[in-house]
Structure 1
Amino acid sequence: MKILSSLFSPAGKNARLSIVIYHRVLPNPDPLVGGGDVNSFEKQLGYLTKNFNVLPLYEAIKRLRQGTLPSRAVSITFDDGYADNAEIALPILQKYNVSATFFIASGFLDGGRMWNDTVIESVRQAQGERLALDEINLGTHIISTLTQRREALFNIIEILKYLPHEVRQLQVEEIRTRIAANLPNDLMMTSDQVRQLHNAGMEIGGHTVTHPILSKVNNTIALTEIANGKEALEGIIGAPVRLFAYPNGKPGKDYCADHVEMVKQLGFEAAVSTAWGAAKGHDDVFQLPRFTPWDKSELFYVLRMAQNTLNRIEVV
């Protein structure tokens, strides 16, 4: 399979850089939201280290520019700053002797909670067979089965995601109050865990302060979010924060050309989106694509990675 993947991702000036993206690594699969658990993460890490050349993202970007990437080059990233990244993912990364970049929204460190997790945990704990949210324009949802509860959750999050920040926060708080959910305050990293990752040789990247969709806030707020997130993380690790990830990350929908310029002006050296594809040497290093295959078998995992190198990269 190495020969196959090398055909799609050769070395040198024609090299392509694949960047995989993770969020959480849970002890066990979450029946409500799915997502990665420790067993699937370790299996995928095994596929990556066996079939690809895994490089730290900062080094990989530098070599992409220089035309010196090895064939089958891959980098690993995590978004948001969940505590399980330090508690569960880090030991596995160390076991396989690979580095990852962790893009952290600084405002949720030390006991904070992202709005989507408030919604997830509230819907998880909702009682009865119906979740009535018509009064806050979020509809009424049947939640008598796990499938229905999951569908309701995803529909609610999709509506909330693109609302103005203040409106969304009010509605999220209303959901929490109506359900009277007992919400966790340990989902995100502590500052000490950020330092632990940095001291272990992992890269810490910026991801704003409160994870707004940049295209949905004015430019003053966007610039402040990006700048203050960078400053906060640099204060924690005592080192430059060189890389950035656009929240949600869809080009033209979640961030615009103005935000790319802000990232450059603030001294970041590269940035990543969530557009699919693999970067080539001439591509914009401030809009690098990312992708994570979902196949469970090694063969199809590698084929999916190879196929992704052929995707046309979307940028603003």
Structure 2
Amino acid sequence: MKKYLHYIRKKYFAPQAMVLMYHSIAEPESDVWDIAVSPANFEQQLQELKKAGNVVPLKELTDGVYNKSLKNNSIAITFDDGYVDNFSTAKPLLEKYNLPATFFIASGYLGQAREFWWDELEHLILFTEQLPLAITITINNILVEVSLDEEATLNKVLWQKHKVWKAFVEKPASKRCRLYLELWQQLKALPEDELLQHLQSIRSWAGVARSVRTGAISMAVEQLQELEQHTLFDIGAHTVTHPALALHKRAYQRQELLLNKSFLEKTLNQTIELLAYPYGSYNGYSMAEAYEAGFKAAFTTEGKVISEGDHPYSLARFQVKNWTGAEFKQQLQLWKSKKLAAEAAV
């Protein structure tokens, strides 16, 4: 009987934790990937987390996975990419509620007067007032050929569609949306030098200069250093140029991880132990290279809770969307209940 009760406790009451994934704390013109949370909603979410009282540093949560000492229902907060609003908007709010967070940084964008490429492409294709009638371009040996016809001219109806459209959740809301997705998919698979060359070709086709909207850029190196010096915050790796690692050869993956880790450690004078895979894209080579580079753990974008037996180089995270505090609280309960339901079905 005692053995049976021990089995039941181990199976159904095993410690579990959640890692939350944020990107940008802002209200952009559009948000096709659903990665922006408004400052007002972010503060409401932090209020809910503060009331719950179970937010821990990501390093502590990771140690719990390693040491079989995971605090049940603990939650860690993470940010990907290094948007400047992480420093200007998220940091003061996290300080206000005394909540720890880890920021995964794509070091190649730090301090650069350029937007993250996916944001620039989104603005370029969906919101340029006048585009040519059609485009024919070969990217990554794939022909992209789209006729925009009447959609070459942006009108209020089209603008409103683009403002609310969510990629891969909904079908493309227009020909421009379809073009954006096709270009994004092909560009995403390229090394950065090729990606930037094609992006310049797309700018030339559109007849617009490179845009630099201040809300779509990375923080400065000095801001990152100030962030790291705060006792609440830790810095993690997110590659140099934000490639989809699984789409690249092992040597390229190794270079992206090592150069990113080396730069961050030299800039911040600390050891970087945690990694987040850009786009959640990884394979066996990615995991092996993360281990060889000296990372202690690596995180995906797979929406699951974390348990003590999980592989340290494929730990899951939940993407937080632009929910109000009440909606966020319900979502936390939903994520938790899905795990319990899955365990009960085993």
Q: TM-score, with normalisation over the residues of structure 2?
A: 0.78
Partner of 1:3: none
For 1:276, which of 281, 299, 303 is the aligned residue? 303
Q: Does 1:139 align with 2:146?
A: yes
- For residues 133 and 229 of structure 2, what CA distance do their matches in structure 1 show? 45
Counterpart for residue 246 of structure 2: 215
Which residue of structure 2 lines up, in the alignment, with residue 155 of structure 1? 181
Structure 1 runs (4+) greater than 4 angstroms displaced? none
CA distance in 1, matches of 2:187, 2:341: 26
Q: How many residues end up aligned between the 2 structures?
A: 297
Partner of 2:273: 242
| Aligned equivalents of 1:258, 1:226: Cα separation in 2 | 12
**CA RMSD of the aligned region, Å?**
2.6
Identity %: 27
In 1, Cα distance between the equivalents of 2:133 and 2:99? 44
Change (3 A) 1:267 1:122: same
Q: Report the more deviating stretch, 95-104 or 287-296.
A: 287-296
Matched, 1:309 2:335: no
Gaps of 5+ in 1: 1-9
CA gap 1:311/1:200 in 2 versus in 1, 3 angstroms: farther
What is the rounded CA distance, in whole Å, between the counterparts of 1:272 and 1:311 in structure 2?
Answer: 24
| Match of residue 29 from structure 2 | 30
Paired position in structure 1 for 2:3: none
Contact 1:227 1:266 in 2 (8 A): yes
Query: Would the aligned equivalents of 1:272 and 1:286 in 2 still touch at CA under 8 Å?
Result: yes
Q: Is the 8 A contact 2:300 2:315 kept in 1?
A: yes
Residue of structure 2 equivalent to 1:115:
117
Aligned partner of residue 139 in structure 1, secondary structure? strand
Do structure 1's residue 69 and structure 2's residue 95 form an aligned pair? no
**C-alpha distance in structure 2 between counterparts of 1:44 and 1:173, whole Å:** 39
Per the normalisation by structure 1, the TM-score is: 0.84
Structure 2 letter corresponding to 1:42: E
1:18-97 superposed matches below 5 A? 18-26=18-26, 28-31=27-30, 33=32, 35-51=36-52, 53-97=54-98
Which deviates further from its counterpart, 302-311 or 280-289? 302-311
Taking the aligned partners of 2:61 and 2:67, their CA distance within structure 1 comes to: 10
Which residue of structure 2 lines up, in the alignment, with residue 7 of structure 1?
none
**Alignment deviations for residues 41-62 of structure 1 (CA, whole Å, 9 cap, x no partner):** 1111122222250011001111
In the aligned structure 2, how far is the partner of 1:292 from the partner of 1:29?
18
Query: 1:148/1:130 Cα in 2 relative to 1: closer, same or farther (>3 Å)?
Result: farther
Where relative contact order (Cα < 8 A, 6+ residues apart) is larger, the structure is 2
Q: What are the superposed Cα offsets for residues 228-286 of structure 1, whole Å, 9 maximum, x if unpaired? A: 0000011111101110011111xxxx211111010011111111001110111011111
Q: Which residue of 1 aligns with 2:141?
A: none
Separation (CA, whole Å) in 1 of partners of 2:67 and 2:25: 33
Structure possessing the higher radius of gyration over alpha carbons? 2
Of 259, 262, 272, 2:289 maps to 262
Which amino acid in structure 2 is aligned with residue 246 of structure 1? Answer: Y
Structure-2 change in CA distance of 1:240 and 1:134 (3 Å): same
- Paired with 1:54 and 1:286, the residues of 2 have a C-alpha distance of 22
Structure 2: gaps spanning 5 or more residues? 1-9, 139-143, 166-171
Counterpart amino acid of 1:139? V
Hey, what's the Cα distance between the residues in 2 that align with 1:99 and 1:124?
36
- For residues 196 and 338 of structure 2, the distance between their equivalents in structure 1, rounded to whole angstroms, comes to 36
